[in-house]
């Protein structure tokens, strides 16, 4: 977490005005996300200067696996709960990417 925070602050120092943290597992393990994940994500952005927008990508799945029965899919209803929790930490934006398989030609 401290290493990620240091890297994020370095990006801000280099002039980045939008910094996105990809979080690939919070949507699949919501209990852990509530217990410690949200606070850890917020700590990654600690000390970010004004004028820099913090963004968290909450991954919900990959298109090549969404139709497979053994693939653990994220509960789409969790997004609103986690987004609300992230809002309270000061994260500026949350992004959800729910990918689906493209339609057949």
Domain residue ranges in the chain: 2-97
| Interior/surface letters 16-43, b for 16+ CB within 10 angstroms, e for the rest | eeebeeebeebbbebeebeeebbeebbe
pLDDT for 24: 78
Q: What are the tens digits of pLDDT across the range 12-51? A: 999 999 999 988 788 888 888 888 888 999 999 999 999 9
Phi, psi of 23 (to 5 degrees): -120, 100
Q: What are the tens digits of pLDDT across the range 71-91? A: 666 777 888 888 888 888 888
């Amino acid at each position: 977490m401290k290493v990620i925070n240091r890297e994020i602050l370095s990006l801000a120092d280099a002039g980045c005005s939008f910094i996105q943290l990809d979080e690939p597992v919070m949507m699949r393990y919501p209990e852990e996300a509530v217990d410690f994940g949200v606070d850890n994500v917020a700590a990654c952005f600690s000390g970010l200067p004004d004028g820099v927008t913090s963004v968290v990508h909450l991954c919900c799945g990959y298109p090549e696996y969404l139709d497979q029965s053994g693939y653990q899919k994220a509960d789409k209803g969790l997004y609103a709960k986690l987004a609300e929790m992230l809002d309270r930490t000061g994260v500026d934006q949350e992004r959800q990417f729910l990918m689906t398989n493209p339609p057949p030609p």
